[in-house]
A and B are shown apart, each in its own frame.
Chain A
Amino acid sequence: MRYPVRAGVAAVALALTASLSAAAGVSKDLAYPTDGNLTAEQIIEQTYFVNHFYAFDNYAITKKGRDITVLVIKSRDKKPTTNTLERYLNNIYDDGVIKAQDLAIFRSGKLKGTGMLITDYEDDTKSQSYMIWLPALRKIRRFAEPAHDDAWGGSDFTFGDVTLRKPFHENHELLGKETFNDCLGFIEFGQGEHTRFTKNLPTAGSCDHKGKEVYKVKSATKFENWWYDERVSYIDTRTFADYRTEYFKNGEAIKVIDRDWVSLGASDDPRAVGWGYWYGKTLATGNQTWAYIPAKVNAVNATYKKDWWSEKTLRKIKR
């Protein structure tokens, strides 16, 4: 009779450990897998690692001459709105409290000069903190973490898509490996729809990833009454970069997000890649979003002042 009791305790301990590790998020030190037989969870953790640039100490998209990252949001049959921005991400923290800090600065449009400092904590149950410099008010305000399904910057991406969704928020299932056989999406501008920031954007989607081997992973959300039931990701078997994610609700495709990835160098880790662009389309409305990052503006493992990720930097932003 003792054996079953011990087995029961072990099972509970195992379950507890498993749930704790699932809820603990993804370590910045997650090793590159050597075994080719990965589970869906392991693949998704690797993809999370890649999307959060844990392969780098820091990662930035800056402004080089006239080259700058452009966020284009376009409703169907309407002219697009454009914002340009810089972003500085720092992953090097060892205080056991902060996991990463991300500084975004808007460089054009109505939010020109607005800066945002986002702090992500090691404790996954703790909300991210958002500190925003509002230049017209000349004030800093703090915001609580937005909801996963809130639109990111008014775009077709949600905060969940961009940053908040963690592997443990979904149940994953590996559907197999296949060859990614498509070019990525992009916004095709009509006559008179260009702005000064869109006129030099590519006129075709990236086909660089056509023919690459990808994992096909289905991830079902654990949230109830959620905006999607499941999403299917196409993930590079070598770099773990996700090229495409298709979202489904009640069996119908509702949104697609394509990501172009470019090698950033500075590391032998195959996962040391960065975004070339994000493209998203909400199928019901036809709204599209395109965040295009010129290759020139990427900077990794650069040197910054110690207090770069601070309120002081925010207050110094020029309009």
Chain B
Amino acid sequence: MKTKENAWANAYADFVLRYRWVIVTLLVAATIVAALQIHKLDIRNDPDTLLPPSNRYVATNLYAEHNFGMGNLMVFALKVKEGDIWQPWFINKIQKIHNELVALPHSREANFIDIAAQKIKYMGADENGLVFKRLIPTEGISDDPDIAKEQLAFLREGVKNNPVMAPMLVSMWDADGNRCAYEDYNKDHCIAKAAYVIADYTDDVKETYLPWVREVRSMMDEYAQDERIELLVAGEPYFLAWMLADLVNKWWLFAISLVIVIVVLWMEFRTWRGALFPLIGVGMTIVMTLGLMGFTQFKLTTMMVLTPMLLLAIGIGHSVQITRRFLLEHARSGDCTLSARESIRHTIIPATLSIITDMVGFATLAAVDISFYKAYAYFGMFGMLTLLLTTTTLIPLLLTAFPPSQESCQQMKSHGWETGVGGFLTRLITGPGKWIPVAAVILVMVGSVYFTNLMNWKGDPAAEVKLVEENDIMPGVEKGINYARAAFKGSSDTWKDLVQLNEIMPGVISVAIPIRGKQPNLVECLDTYYPDDIYDIEDPIEKAQACDKYKKELACWDSEACGPQGVFNDVDLHTDLEKMENWMRAHEFIGYTGSYTQYIRLVNMLLAAEPGEQPNLKDLTVPNKDYLLAIDPDDDRSPNEIVQMYNGLLEAMTSAGDMDSFVDTESWNEGVVLGFINTMHPVETHEVTMDIQQYIEDHKNEPGFSKVHFGLRNADTSGDTNEMSTEGPDYVRPGIGGFLGATEATREVAMENWLIGPLQTALAIFIIAALMFRSVLVSALLTLTLFITLFAQYGLGGYFTSVENWSGNLAFHLLVTLSIAMGLGVDYGIYMISRLREEMQNTGNNWVEALRNTQNTTGSAVIVSIIVLLGSFIPLAGTTLANTWGLSVYIGWALIIDVFTALMLLPLMIKWFKPKYVFQR
């Protein structure tokens, strides 16, 4: 750290000055090359690529999406303001929306669920027998009032009498404004007030989010003009695409941010060079970093907007230091080359060290298996590293090429406000006022203890469970996520729509529970078949034994002789699934469920009705032995054969793909239970996840469930058969998928990293600072200030938790701010200590004078840096996005505290502990 005598710094300064034009040319060339890569930026905002793929919930979710689709659902809900939905104009509007949503790129029409969808049928009986018919004619409801009346009556009947699908199609309310229970949907007192179009899109939509969402918004604008209705739109692709669009639409916020930076730079330097060159340098760094992002085609999220804004803020901070130093040297000497040499050799070492600590903050993020953490790490480190060239090196070189006059630099010697602030801080710290910063820090700490509920000092029983079972020493800080609020602010229309939608729909968070038969399907016999006498065996047990025997002998399966393979041909599984769905539907936080078993129940209800009778709800059940014997104690029909026949009928009566969202119709050995969760509260989503997993644990040995695996226990299906699936210390409960699974995965990742991640960063910074200053004491003092900031950030998370602001609780996307802020925040301390040492040497160890000089120069530069940084956060905080708002709030809060401690607490501690690094003569 002996900058004056540092040979490396001198050599570096001499080298860059000698080859200044080569360096400038290379930097410009690199910037142009990088700029040409920016168009390849892949900002897709894909939660599937955010979380570690090995996490059981993530793996289960991806498995369910890959095998059964329904991973990109969007809902258009149309609420009628007057009367009910059974009006021609309303129904035709729903049909039009259906057709337009189908026409959007990447739609999966077979998965659409709404009254206009082909697969959603009227199911009843008339004089011709059972009727399966479209609910709405393809040409829409007729203009002829008599025909329209008939068509609407048919539609209404069809919806009300479809107990399986009705809750997914319409929302019914009673006259008092209470939502009807689903079992009451066929009652007359329930009035249909809203209808939905649930649309599904392929993953390809993620590559065209911007044009796609613009089409969606244009539809929304068109339909919203109709005053008879209220339109609510939600769903993952819309949500994620709109986040991107919102960021792009708010480009002017970035312009404001730039203007603020220019104004601050102008006020600081009062010269166009001082305002322009830092911007050029930082701009080159941003272009290079964006170019690298484009070149690598890393899948990015909107949260990556933090990186260029941080580079802007940090880069400007470095620029201020180097520009100020150059101008001061130039004011003194009037020699540009000498000024450049002096400024570079004085600044390059602390700049390098502070950039190293910045990089450490980013680098530790690379250790976490989350793609956007890694993106922050790689691109953050790259960007920070380039700042050494584009600011600390380039700016003095540019100033030698376009030198300011010596006179103009005279005014740089000192701004009035700088000496004012420096003097005030010095007086405060050296007088009795020194206890004010100490008291302020104590206050922040006490507040943090309060809000984090440290070690559950409040004695909250729920917090105690978290403390004991999950070692969560700060149970007051919620680490789970409300994805919607983490994405959008509470004031945004997107969030408000979602809240309303959650009230009228069964729920807005999906849950998917994949099910796989334990017995894999054997290859079908192709040339040699089971002997013909097997067809004559009537006793089911005897037949099963014979089938088993020939299965082993021939190593193939003869489905003609022994029936179809696949666990979904087994009534036991459907019986257990029916029980499970009944339990789920009764759960406080589960709005509704669906599975292939519901089709079996429905077909049974329809086929149980004798000719001329209407289907009866009592037959809406799986046709198992109990059901058959309850009707006729002598019934000897085979429930398995009935289920297999229903499967065959459904295969024959539906279009390709109609059932693929619930069952694999190729193997009949895999399926999925889908559900809708009616809460987004992070505590409740965790609770319902645990409840579902507990239900599976409690019932996994029942006749049907004993034949299947649920979810995934690790990245793939290997967990079905290894130690993870057998009772013991390595046993792992299978994960569940859907957005609920993603939500739980997010919580799990946050629980793993919320404390250990920042502590690792702190340790790395402690070691680097100790090596840098060759002083454990200095490093310890710096690290102490970081811990103060860190705890204050936890306190902030506790505060947001206490007021249930789920845009601000410490979910996984905001955890990055802890490490990043630590790396950035230590810079101020490093600059202060370096300067204090220099001033102590210059003043002959006169503490007060050294402190005043430090506060006047470095202190004011730190203040300018923080103003620039907060200004550059305007775009992050100003959109409707909550994730970028959260990043700016946490980092902003941390850096304010960092500046506070660097300017006031750190000098106090230096004075009290007198580290040799500063005080040695």
Contacts and interface: CB of A to CB of B under 8 A. Distances in A.
A142 B564 contact: no
Interface in B518-538: 523-527, 529
Contacts of A75: 656-657, 666
A142 B130 CA distance: 6
Contact of A153 (B126, B611, B645, B652): B652
A114 B656 contact: no
Interface string A187-204: 000001011100100000
A110 B139 contact: no
Nearest to A284: B109
A201 to B, nearest CB: 13
Contact of A136 (B140, B642, B666): B642
A143 B606 CA distance: 11
Size category of the binding interface on chain A: 35 or more
A130 interface: yes
Interface string A61-86: 00000000000010100110101000
A141 B607 contact: yes
Given A150-B655, A153-B652, A196-B529, A143 B138 contact: no
B139 A154 contact: no
Contacts of B129: 129-131, 141-144
A164 interface: no
A151 B642 CA distance: 23
Given A149-B138, A154-B654, 14 more contacts: A73-B656, A109-B648, A111-B645, A114-B648, A129-B128, A137-B642, A144-B129, A150-B118, A154-B651, A154-B656, A156-B656, A196-B525, A196-B526, A225-B139
Contacts of A156: 656
Contact of B651 (A81, A194, A196): A81
Contacts of A131: 129
Interface in B647-673: 647-649, 651-657, 665-666
Nearest 7 A/B pairs, CB to CB: A142-B129, A110-B648, A224-B139, A151-B655, A111-B648, A136-B645, A136-B641
B607 A154 contact: no
Contacts of B273: none
B645 A195 contact: no
A3 interface: no
Which of B95, B651, B665 has most chain A Cβ within 10 Å? B651
Nearest to B665: A81
A287 interface: yes
B726 interface: no
Contacts, number: 123
Interface string A119-135: 00000000101110011
Contacts of A73: 656
Contact of B645 (A135, A145, A223, A287): A135
Contacts of A141: 129-130, 607, 611
Contact of B564 (A78, A110, A139): A110
B99 A225 contact: yes
19 contacts: A110-B647, A129-B128, A130-B129, A134-B607, A136-B638, A136-B642, A137-B637, A141-B607, A142-B129, A143-B130, A144-B129, A146-B132, A151-B656, A154-B656, A194-B526, A196-B525, A223-B138, A224-B139, A224-B140
B644 interface: yes
B138 A108 contact: no
A149 B118 contact: yes
A46 to B, nearest CB: 28
B370 to A, nearest CB: 32
Contacts of A138: 637
Contacts of A282: 656
A111 B560 CA distance: 11
Contacts of B140: 224-225
A114 B140 CA distance: 35
B607 A144 contact: no
Contacts of B523: 192
A147 B526 contact: no
A107 to B, nearest CB: 9
A285 interface: yes
Contact of A114 (B132, B138, B637, B645): B645
A223 B607 contact: no
Nearest to B664: A78
A225 B134 CA distance: 13
A147 B134 contact: yes
B653 A154 contact: yes
